[in-house]
Amino acid sequence: MSVVRVLPDVTGLDKRFDYVVPDDMVATAVLGTLVRIELSGRRVGGWIVELDPPDAKPVDVLKPLAKVSSAGPTADVIALAEWASRR
């Protein structure tokens, strides 16, 4: 099973969370994909910002992605946006 790091699309929350990718979503859960996740008892949208992070928690304690919604920006665009947010 793979793990992804997701940045929730929630105002005022600047934290990233790790989720397990279910087997049926592995092909579509790529960097930049818009997904649905469970966060604090509700489903919210989020963006996959990292694949298989080296510091992720063990798979058995992580929640699975709820849904893959749609393709997002390419890895190059994500890197540019992260760079711009630090400037």
φ and ψ at residue 77, rounded to 5 degrees: -70, -40
Task: List the one residue out of 49, 54, 60 whose CA is nearest residue 17.
Answer: 49
Q: What is the pTM of this model?
A: 0.83
Per-residue pLDDT of the chain (87 residues; tens, 9 = 90+): 799 999 998 888 889 999 999 999 999 999 889 999 999 899 999 999 999 999 988 888 999 999 999 887 777 887 888 899 888
* pLDDT in the model for residue 7: 92
Helix (H, G, I), strand (E, B) or coil at 25: helix
* pLDDT in the model for residue 8: 95
